[in-house]
Chains A and B, each alone.
Chain A
Amino acid sequence: MIHSLFLVNSSGDIFLEKHWKSVVSRSVCDYFFEAQERASEPENVPPVIPTPHHYLISVLRHRIYFVAVIQSEVPPLFVIEFLHRVVDTFQDYFGVCTEAAIKDNVVVVYELLEEMLDNGFPLATESNILKELIKPPTILRTVVNTITGSTNVGEQLPTGQLSVVPWRRTGVKYTNNEAYFDVVEEIDAIIDKSGSTITAEIQGVIDACVKLTGMPDLTLSFMNPRLLDDVSFHPCVRFKRWEAERILSFIPPDGNFRLLSYHVSSQNLVAIPVYVKHNITFREGSSQGRFELTLGPKQTMGKGVEAVLVSSQLPRGVLNTNLNPTQGTYTFDPVTKLLSWDVGKINPQKLPSLKGSMSLQAGASKPDENPTINIQFKIQQSALSGLKVNRLDMYGEKYKPFKGIKYMTKAGKFQIATR
């Protein structure tokens, strides 16, 4: 399976290598660098690159390429999924997954990689188990370790791998028992120039932060489970129970985890929460173009639209812009031609707008490209699909936990065509 792993930063340096079988020379990465050069954008490097003796499978996360070297047939998704799991684990351990964080914690990284793969085959990938094996570094522990020379490696050998609940460590204790669930929905949409929706769908996740003592057994039920068209579960969820009763029944892992991700089918008409009025014109022969953009809320169920950020890739012919926002700030990068406008909150009484002119290359014919507007926003305390958690019950433990559920709607890939 996975032979070796190389971490490559954005400037093309290999800053970490790990081999699980015999050592593969780092020169194998030259093939990767070649492909990288050929690709116009960093994300256009093909995930799978064949070389004469090996195959390189890479993922790009946080501007670091994780390049796995494999020697023989293996499902590429297997490797990709595993690499992402590695990144998630790093993020979980160090808060961020940057080159600096990895370099600072190189020993922990090495220990983690050692536990996650055995002979190139995944061994322990559950964060709960890994945390039992290798304590995540905290500032306090780092200080203590430096002074006392003690370790990050768990004193006791973990039992989790052997238990029947492999995702949960044993002997969890908290003074405050709490369980929080965040229902986060992202709306993906493509809106055409006339404002009608071409496609819109809602993707949701339920992220949980469960800090409960002992072995609690939770059930979470929804008011309207039928909304969920397609779901995928954390392995802790009892599938049969869901099939039969549409109830999520599970023994949660300790700490943060993604309980469920779901999809609300496009058949259910998706309410688009914002609208954009736009007027972007270039006149033939003139070196000026007009730019007008107005945002407004629409079907937001009374909740405010916040953290609105508009970005658009303007045509290459645009030299500069001269725009006036009624609120927020806007920037235009003349090199990348990227316009971004940080709007903030939409006030329904006074709709934010961005108006002004664009200067074009003199003499050039009018650009015929089609700038699209990408919008990001957040709506607190509401799930766009209307999904509602009915109740959360705990069995198996005596105490009363504190329970909380939060809803949020975000824009996913929300795109508006202008011409």
Chain B
Amino acid sequence: MSASSAFNDEKGGSSNVGEPEYGHDPASGGIFSSDYKRHDDLKEMLDSNKDSLKLEAMKRIVAMIARGKNASDLFPAVVKNVACKNIEVKKLVYVYLVRYAEEQQDLALLSISTFQRGLKDPNQLIRASALRVLSSIRVTIIVPIMMLAIKEAASDMSPYVRKTAAHAIPKLYSLDPEQKDCLIEVIEKLLADKTTLVAGSVVMAFEEVCPERIDLIHKNYRKLCNLLIDVEEWGQVVIINMLTRYARTQFLNPNMNESLLEEGGGEKAFYGSDNDDDTDDEEDKEEKEKKKTEATAIVKRKPYVMDPDHRLLLRNTKPLLQSRNAAVVMAVAQLYFHLAPKAEVGVIAKALVRLMRSHSEVQYVVLQNVATMSIKRRGMFEPYLKSFYIRSTDPTQIKVLKLEVLTNLANETNISTILREFQTYIKSNDKDFVAATIQAIGRCATNIGEVRDTCLNGLVQLLSNRDELVVAESVVVIKKLLQMQPEQHSDIIKHMAKLTDNIQVPMARASILWLIGEYCEHVPKIAPDVLRKMAKTFTNEEDIVKLQIINLAAKLYLTNSKQTKLLTQYVLNLAKYDQNYDIRDRARFIRQLIVPTDKSGALSKYAKKLFLALKPAPVLESPFKDRDHFQLGSLSHLLNAKAGGYQVLPDWPEAAPDPSVRNVEVPEWTKCSSREKRKEKKADKPFYSDSEGESGPTESADSASDTASGSESGSGSEESGSGSESEESNEDSESASEEDEEEEGKKKKKNVEKIKARKPVPESESEPSSGEEVKKSEKKSKPRIGSSESESEEDEDSESESSESEEEESEEESEEETKKKKKTTASKPPSKPPKKENKKEKKEMSLLDFDDFDPAPSPSQVTPLNNFLSSSLVTDLEGLSLTDNVLSPTTIVPSGNLKTYELLHRITGEGLSVEYCFSRQPFSPDPHMVAVKIQFTNSATSEAKSLHVEDAKLQSGMRIKEFPEIEVLPAGETVSVVMGIDFCDSTQAANFQLCTHTRKFFVSIQPPVGELMMPIFMTENEFKKEQETLLQSLGQLMGMNEITEKLTLEEKCQGEHAVVQRVTTAANLSRVPCGSDKECSPPVPPPPFPIHRFAGKTVTSGSLVLVSVVTKEDGAAQLTVNCEKMVIGTMLVKDILQALTQ
């Protein structure tokens, strides 16, 4: 209401039309007063205290500005309000200020301090808007202030402010071009910016200020290519256009060979026509040489390899063909047209054809470009021929352009359909269009020899059309066609001669006369008659026709002077007194030339030659030919004239400039790779350092919590108080020594020393296992081992079991109980969660650490250890050592065996590389999640900030527990974190975004089936029982839960150890100690063909997974997997099979 009233008021005031409306406007008190007075009124409102009045006044003022009315006399009153609190008033004041500041420079300065204050505001949006307005005020005196503000804003924290700074650069440049050098510095700085928000704006500034400084782009080229898809659409257009130019200067022509061949071919034809036969020996030496060099050039250049950067540009722009923004699509299309190898240009056709559905203005521009392209690359648009068919509803300018494209696309195969289309067009209402169609037919006829006669016949039929325009256009076109082969068409010429009676269009009459004159020898009888008729009407003809009559007369006089002498004289006499001096001149000239007199000069001898010379046939060319020397899609191309500020698209360089200029980062990249090696080393480290707390901050925190957890567990469980703690430290030392051991190779001496030093440890280590073993084999032993249990680190369920054992006396029951317990406690199985909150897990921590420390290539390492153990311990423990052996490498797979997967490559991650592995440790915050260890390595030069997970796209039921945000990752550093993923027992990938402070990466983690489970410990008896219950649970459907595969083990794989190793690597299962069901019998030598059993359960649902490998002779084996989840079972069988047979 308010705005409209203001507007009406304004309108009334300016045009005196809407006077009745005046009365309705309560706000304008001084309706009937003059402009001057009304402005007084506005001033009053602006000076009032009420925001509403100020707003009202400003709205009316803005309405005035919009109408183009002068409101400059209000400047002082308005500028006072620049610091107004009301946002809308403020905004409108800004609008006013920007509009009139130029005219009132002195007063405008009053407002500057407000903006300077705004530049310091803590809110980025206020900073940005202050800079925006400040830079829009075109007052030269504040140039230094603007420069300062831009420089400051260019290094602002907020990318939005930096974007505004980029926008301000061209503003300042247009105000004061002398600041160019300073501004280029700022541009250079902003070009290095890595945010998509800034990229488009700064390239825009670059294009306006220093488009010639292509060298500034080198370093940023790859970054721009990679950012491109995320830049806002307008920025994309600018960047793509700039990169097109850049690529033209930096890369080699991908079509070099073809174009050379083509040119060669073309030249050949050219010479051929000269020489009749170009394989003739008569070829000049020069020519031969030329060919030779050409040939060598071709040979020399044959191995063209596209610069990877060139490829990068093509690849990264291609998806943008799908943009909804026509300008972006066009930009990509022109980039492909100018830069892509011929074979690849085709992809743009579809997108361009799609644009033809858009608004007619878009169509207009696109068709212009398609017309140019279709000359060079006809094949590209041929499949879309029908999309260029013309509808009666198209605007004429679109019709004509479509016609142009259709003509360009015409060739021998499609000409018949095109001509049929053309026939319908000729019947159109739109005469301009019909004329264009006839010309198009003419062009088709000249270009395609096969249809020339058809076209000519068609055109001749048009000569009897009722519409004069059509006939005239046809005549003109026929004239051009006949010039090509006049001999065969004297009939047509005769026919046309008759038309002179009817056709009034001067151009057509002139054409006919010219034709008859030119080919008067073919129509010797008719020609003089035509001249006779023309002489009769000479005075009434148009000038252009008169000239042709004179021409005709002259030609006839030269060929057939007998019949036409008098006529010619007559015509020339008429012309002599014509009003048009051109005609008078022509008449005088011709008379001198052809009528021999005494005075006539030497020229008259040549009159015949002059007039009847063979004239070359006109070439009907597309007006779009060679327009592609302008960059397509540009304004200059559209106008076919260079527009101001147009940057010429350079030609391809002869030889590629040094591609390494773009590699400014090369030293860094190589550094990266070396760093990566280091990182690889480091990658192992966390496993060690976890407890040692020597490297990254997170790890040290981890280790701290480790020890804390140890003590906690001590206080928590009375029995396993200090023992566990001390043990832990023991273990630590052990692990450290072990690590040393590994690092220093297997120097025996040291080894022995170490082992000795470790002596107490193995004892404590083996003790619990022995206890456990004993306990499990003879169920009665439980109470007895209670104490040892408390010490035992390896026994996962020690705590529960011990408490259980105290309560329960009955063996069977306890057995049952433990089993159940195991099931429950197994949800916190033996492995190291990074963040421990759970006491039980705390306790297991040390064990896990130990296992982690167990160096990677464990087979070689573990075996000697076991040898040692077996030799040093009493014989009855020997069998147990085997269990130990099994337990340590299998229940918890040594970290070194963990396969790491790549999550983010450092190139796509812009220096940030991310790998993950399944750490096979329980994820403490949620036992139903799989722990995934993620390792970040920052190989970029700048630090990465706020690494976090965002925006997870999960299949239903899947959940993610994100890792805590990593605030800063300094350059060159590596950090690992653990996140939990509940895969719902499926191998579906978990997709999420990995975000840094600048970028987001889509990543996904897909678990191998073996990682979806965790080991549980059970005895062989239990195993068998479970297997049975599993089989029976489905009752009738026996086979459902069991999958059996026969396989042949490879030789390498036949050993027990190898089998265990491979199975446990493939799946996170624990080995079921074998032979333990033999009632604690004295150590038997392992059976020759043992059965290996493994147990585990799925992480999410806790379904049991039982695997047994029955080995037989000659490496034959049978693999059985029992699992409720059939899918998991099937997949697991496959995986294990693969692991065993490889």
- A interface, CB within 8 angstroms of B: 1, 14-19, 21-23, 26, 40-41, 43-44, 46-48, 50, 55, 58-61, 70-78, 80-82, 84, 103-111, 114, 118-119, 121-123, 125, 142-143, 145-146, 148-149, 151-155, 157-158, 161-162, 164, 166, 190, 192, 198-199, 201, 203, 217, 219, 229-235, 238-240, 243, 249, 258, 261, 263, 266, 313, 315-316, 365, 368-370, 372, 374, 395-396, 413, 415, 417, 419
Contact = CB atoms under 8 A, between A and B. Distances in A.
Nearest to A418: B427
Contacts of A84: 359, 361-362
A77 B322 contact: no
B386 A198 contact: yes
29 contacts: A23-B99, A40-B396, A41-B395, A44-B396, A50-B639, A60-B360, A73-B643, A75-B237, A84-B361, A105-B4, A106-B7, A106-B63, A114-B91, A146-B1, A149-B55, A149-B56, A153-B87, A155-B87, A157-B126, A162-B197, A190-B389, A198-B421, A203-B357, A233-B323, A235-B232, A315-B429, A370-B428, A396-B951, A413-B393
Contact of B350 (A81, A106, A230): A230
A239 B397 contact: no
B295 to A, nearest CB: 41
A367 B684 CA distance: 90
B644 A72 contact: yes
B63 A75 contact: no
A151 B392 contact: no
B309 to A, nearest CB: 22
Contact of A233 (B324, B330, B331, B951): B324
Q: Which residue, B3, B56, B319, B331, has most C-beta atoms of chain A within 10 A? A: B3
Q: Which 8 A-B pairs have the closest CB atoms?
A: A149-B52, A72-B645, A370-B427, A151-B88, A199-B386, A73-B646, A153-B88, A157-B125
Contact of B395 (A43, A48, A315): A43
Contacts of B954: 395
Most A C-beta atoms less than 10 A away, residue of B330, B643, B1000: B643
Contacts of A23: 99, 102
Contacts of A229: 350
Given A232-B323, A233-B322, 13 more contacts: A43-B395, A48-B365, A55-B639, A60-B360, A76-B638, A80-B361, A110-B65, A121-B167, A230-B354, A258-B324, A369-B427, A413-B391, A415-B391
Nearest to B232: A166
A151 B7 contact: no
Interface in B157-171: 158-160, 164, 167-168, 170-171
What is the interface of chain B mostly: helix, strand, loop, or mixed? Answer: helix
Interface of B: 1-4, 6-7, 11, 50-53, 55-56, 59, 62-63, 65-68, 86-88, 91-92, 94-95, 99, 102, 123-126, 132, 135-136, 138, 158-160, 164, 167-168, 170-171, 174, 197, 201, 204, 229, 232-234, 237, 241, 319, 322-327, 329-331, 350-351, 353-354, 357, 359-362, 364-366, 386-387, 389, 391-393, 395-397, 421, 424, 427-429, 465-467, 633-636, 638-639, 641, 643-647, 951-954, 995, 1000, 1002
A1 B467 CA distance: 46
A74 B646 CA distance: 8
A14 B68 contact: yes
B427 A81 contact: no
Contacts of A43: 360, 395
Nearest to B397: A44
Contacts of A233: 322-324
Given A78-B234, A153-B88, A261 B126 contact: no
Contacts of B353: 230
B354 A82 contact: no
Contacts of B3: 104-108
Contacts of A125: 233-234
Q: Residue among A46, A143, A162, A243 with the most chain B CB within 10 A?
A: A162
B7 A73 contact: no
A73 B52 contact: no
A47 B66 contact: no
A103 to B, nearest CB: 5
B427 A190 contact: no
A27 B241 CA distance: 32
Contacts of B351: 230, 232
A151 B87 contact: yes
Contacts of A80: 326-327, 359, 361-362, 365
Contacts of A365: 466
Nearest to A103: B7
Contact of A41 (B87, B201, B396): B396
Given A149-B51, A370-B424, A110 B465 contact: no
Nearest to A153: B88
Contacts of A103: 4, 7, 11
B392 A48 contact: no
A75 B322 contact: no
A1 B329 CA distance: 19
A77 B365 contact: yes
Nearest to B950: A164
Contact of B62 (A21, A74, A107, A372): A107
A71 B635 CA distance: 11
A17, A43, A104, A243 — most chain B CB neighbours (10 Å): A43
Given A73-B643, A114-B95, A235 B52 contact: no
Given A105-B3, A157-B125, A369-B428, A118 B953 contact: no
A150 to B, nearest CB: 8
Nearest to B52: A149
B88 A110 contact: no
Contacts of B350: 229-230
Contacts of B638: 48, 76
Nearest to B359: A84
Contact of A16 (B67, B164, B366): B67
A77, A84, A198, A266 — most chain B CB neighbours (10 Å):
A77
Contact of B633 (A59, A77, A109): A77
A219 B951 CA distance: 13
A14 B11 CA distance: 12
A111 B129 CA distance: 14
B14 to A, nearest CB: 11
Nearest to A148: B52
A330 B364 CA distance: 34
A23 B136 CA distance: 12
B429 A316 contact: yes
A239 B635 contact: no
Given A55-B643, A107-B3, A157-B125, A77 B232 contact: no
Nearest to B390: A190
B682 to A, nearest CB: 31
A216 to B, nearest CB: 11
B636 A73 contact: yes
Contacts of B396: 40-41, 44
Contacts of B51: 149
A21 B167 CA distance: 13
Given A22-B138, A149-B56, A415 B7 contact: no
Contacts of A74: 635
A109 B59 CA distance: 11
Given A76-B635, A121-B201, A162 B158 contact: yes
B2 A146 contact: yes
A263 B354 contact: yes
A47 B56 contact: no
Contacts of A72: 643-646
Contacts of A153: 87-88, 91
Given A103-B7, A142-B1, A374-B393, A81 B362 contact: yes
B641 A50 contact: yes
Nearest to B364: A47
A343 B161 CA distance: 58
Contacts of A164: 995, 1000
A302 to B, nearest CB: 28
Contact of B204 (A50, A121, A217): A121
